[in-house]
Structure 1
Amino acid sequence: MNREWLEKDFYKDLGVSSSATQDEIKKAYRRLARDLHPDKNPGDSTAEDRFKAVSEANAVLSDPEKRKEYDEARKLFAGGGFGRGGFTPGAGYGQPGGFSGGEFNLGDIFGPGANAGAADGGLGDLLGGLFNRGGTRTSSRPRRGSDVETETTLGFREAAQGVTVPLRMTSPAACTTCHGSGAKPGTSPRVCPHCNGSGVVSRNQGAFGFSEPCEDCRGTGSIIDDPCVDCRGSGIQNRTRTITVRIPPGVRDGQRIRLAGQGEAGLRGAPPGDLFVTVHVSQDKVFGRNADDLTLVLPVSYAELVLGTTVSVPTLDGRVGVKVPPGTADGRTLRVRGRGVPKRDGGAGDLLVTVKVAIPQKLDDNASEALRRYAEAEKTSGFDPRAGWAGA
């Protein structure tokens, strides 16, 4: 548990309630990150601080395990409970109905077996990291960097065919000067002598034994005597970088793409988080999409439907001739196999061409006369477009 979490209200930072869903948290973070991004507010230190606070809040609340740990800790420590000076460990000790006997370790109550059968992640799991269990020390492990989310917008054909795009983003990354160690180049961190590298120390307060983060090394297990001047010993710094992202063919609107190891840098050389890119796809003037099939509407004349024709239509990689059989009904869909959206297995969907009659708004005298002669010939032949319609 990060002790600094108890001093912050991550829900307030994101402007959501403590009962907010993961989707509500995600939407709130995206909105705030977009408004507070350093690229959008150059030179605004207030916006930059808010951006950092929002990013930290999202890193905790978007991770179900971290959020659960944070929520339980807030409940436990609400109103100063168990805080320094806010808790009286001897209260009730040796009193009627109170504790009696020798030294009492609260970790024994909440340790394994004290709550047999309880669900994982209960109070015992939370307190296990705060209270000393039998005087043993747990090793300090570097915390993985937080995941980072960003968005990009692609054209319809780019999304269908796949494209490589550069993403420019500002986020915490490993310091390029010390390569994430936090120490000045040419020096190295040393093991903390106070906690022997464990990151935690034990102390007794009355009848209770506590384990808490080591104040000398701030829970990291190591001390940097000569910190890096660029990152001030943290091993990370905000950096604007350009990442080349390969968008695979057939990506859909709203799809998230994961780039392992491209997220926020871990503290002092810990593994970085991942980058998640949400893709938005613009509409196309010609094409639509139905799963892996491309769709388009082909304007044709009445004569082309009656007599039949072959029409050249566009595809993602050129044009193809589509045969319209004689007597084709208006609104019929013709299928061209293998000319749709590329699939991951190497194949492709189909091109679905729907024919639609285009009606001329104005005819010259010759065309009008020809159409009248055709109408008379049509009646003479016995054709009735409404035969059998509505009881006729």
Structure 2
Amino acid sequence: MEFKDYYAVLGVERDAAQDEIKRAYRRLARKYHPDVSQEADADARFKELGEAYEVLKDPEKRLAYDRVGQGQRAGEDFSPPPDWDAGFEFRGGGYTQEGYSQEQHAAFSDFFESLFGQRRGPGPGFTGSSGDPGGRRYRARGEDHHAKVSIALEDAYRGAVRTLTLQSGELDEQGRVRPRQRTLKVRIPKGVKQGQRIRLAGQGEPGMGGGPAGDLYLEIEFESHRRYQVEGRDVTLILPVAPWEAALGATIAVPLPEGSVELKVPADSQDGRRLRLKGRGIPGEPPGDCYVALKIVLPPATSDDVKAAYRRLEAVANFNPRAAAEETP
């Protein structure tokens, strides 16, 4: 996937004010509108302009785009880093309209979708008239906000109260985007899954005309962990074992997010064997399981005694690890 330089698309500098971005978009949109333009690539250019403006007109999207695109050049291979948007707060809402139909703005690129494809949502709806007889004033609910937050896997096992800092963008007096932060104390429920959303009522955009505020939805991601992998409520970990533990069997303490548990390793276990600890995954109804994958680790032959032990094993085991592969089909 190629990186898209939205500033170059609109022909503006990276520190351009919002009014300048709007003027550039309107000027170029008139030039390349498929209904009036004679340019051969008018349709493609018009869609590209709409995509660039959709990002740069929005302070939240623009700030996030600037952060993830630091050091990137147009046309370079690009893949968003994992959880690049964790901690960014986005408003809900649809595409820019600017006199054009939503269908004309629907064909955005894979690049856009990889960054903002899940940030779209319905805009706020009117909740009724505020009582003005001319119908000019309305009571409208505020937009919902969305943010992805990273938590420790241990929080899903036990539940927790965490103080989270969210970052979004706002315009300064010159119409340029600057970062804005807010801190919230959030209760992480026991048993929360990756991808699950926590709703904070009234923490979204303020309402209009006395309407209620929107909500804030926090999408849960687990922080990367050197030991655990998560799928749904199931947790998998790699357990290093010595060759004699795998061959002869052993009882080993396995470190889980909720505390250590004793695991019986059956004799004659092979590398990669998966053992199940029922109900030891993320709590729920029903709870997930924990799968322990054995990884046989050989002692390094760094001393004469260990080398001698390996030679004795070679002599008595009469073992060829490639025997099955060498068999004629």
Q: Report if the CA contact (8 A) 1:161-1:341 is conserved.
A: no
Q: CA deviation at 1:274?
A: 1.3
Residue in structure 2 matching 1:152, options 133, 146, 149: 149
Relative to structure 1, is the Cα distance of residues 11 and 30 closer, same or farther in structure 2, using a 3 angstrom cutoff? farther
Structure 1, 142-151 or 249-258: larger mean CA deviation: 249-258
* 8 Å CA contact 1:11, 1:18 repeated in 2: no
C-alpha separation in 2, matches of 1:27 and 1:333: 51
2:243 is the counterpart of 1:307: no
In structure 2, relative to structure 1, the CA distance for the partners of 1:375 and 1:34 (3 Å cut) is: closer
Task: Give the distance between the partners of 1:163 and 1:367, measured in 2 at CA.
Answer: 48
One of 292, 303, 306 as aligned partner of 1:367 = 306
Give the aligned CA root-mean-square deviation in angstroms. 4.3
- Please tell me whether residue 320 in structure 1 is matched to residue 261 in structure 2: yes
Q: Does 1:391 find its partner at 2:320?
A: no
Give the 5 Å matches for 1:114-263: 137-138=134-135, 140-159=137-156, 161-168=158-165, 242-252=183-193, 255-263=196-204
The range that moved more, 243-252 or 285-294, is 243-252
Kept in 1: contact 2:156–2:282 (CA 8 A): no
Question: CA–CA distance in 2 between the matches of 1:72 and 1:372?
Answer: 77
Summarize deviations over 1:109-136 as a string: whole Å, max 9, x none.
xxxxxxxxxxxxxxxxxxxxxxxxxxx9
Residue 235 of structure 2 aligns to which amino acid in structure 1? L
CA deviation digits over 1:171-214, x for unaligned, max 9? 9xxxxxxxxxxxxxxxxxxxxxxxxxxxxxxxxxxxxxxxxxxx
Residue identity in the other structure for 2:313: Y
CA contact (8 A) 1:147 1:274 kept: yes
Q: How big is the shift at 1:317?
A: 1.1
Offset of residue 288 of structure 1: 1.2
Q: 1:348 aligns with which of 274, 277, 287?
A: 287
Alpha-carbon distance between aligned partners in 1 of 2:185 and 2:97, rounded to the nearest angstrom: 35
Where 1:354 maps in the other structure, the secondary structure is strand
Partner of 1:103: none
Q: Which amino acid aligns with 1:361?
A: P
**Cα distance in 2 between the residues matched to 1:279 and 1:312:** 29
Matched, 1:269 2:210: yes
Deviates more, 1:280-289 or 1:316-325: 280-289
TM-score scaled by length of structure 2: 0.55
**AA of the residue aligned to 1:290:** E
Q: Helix, strand or coil for the counterpart of 2:138?
A: coil
Structure 1 unaligned segments of length 5 or more: list them: 1-7, 37-54, 74-135, 172-238
Change (3 A) 1:25 1:250: farther
Q: Is the alpha carbon distance of 1:137 and 1:69 closer, same or farther for their aligned partners in structure 2, counting shifts above 3 Å?
A: farther
Residue by residue, what CA displacement relative to the aligned partner does 1:212-252 show, whole Å, maximum 9, x if unpaired? xxxxxxxxxxxxxxxxxxxxxxxxxxx98643222334545
Moved more, 262-271 or 298-307: 262-271
Counterpart of 1:267 in 2: which secondary structure?
coil
- 1:12/1:159 CA distance change after superposition, 3 Å: farther
Percent identity reads 33
Quote the offset at 1:263 in angstroms.
Answer: 1.3
Give, as a single letter, the amino acid of the residue that structure 2 aligns with 1:391: E
Deviation at 1:154, TM superposition (A): 1.9
Whether contact under 8 Å (2:56, 2:62) holds in the other structure is: no
Q: State the distance in 2 between where 1:385 and 1:293 align.
A: 33
| Alpha-carbon distance in structure 1 between the residues aligned to 2:151 and 2:56 | 22
**Rounded Cα–Cα distance in structure 2 between residues aligned with 1:169 and 1:302:** 48
Aligned to 1:32: 62
Secondary structure of the residue aligned to 1:369 is helix
C-alpha deviation, 1:69, in angstroms = 9.2
**C-alpha distance in 2, partners of 1:167/1:377?**
60
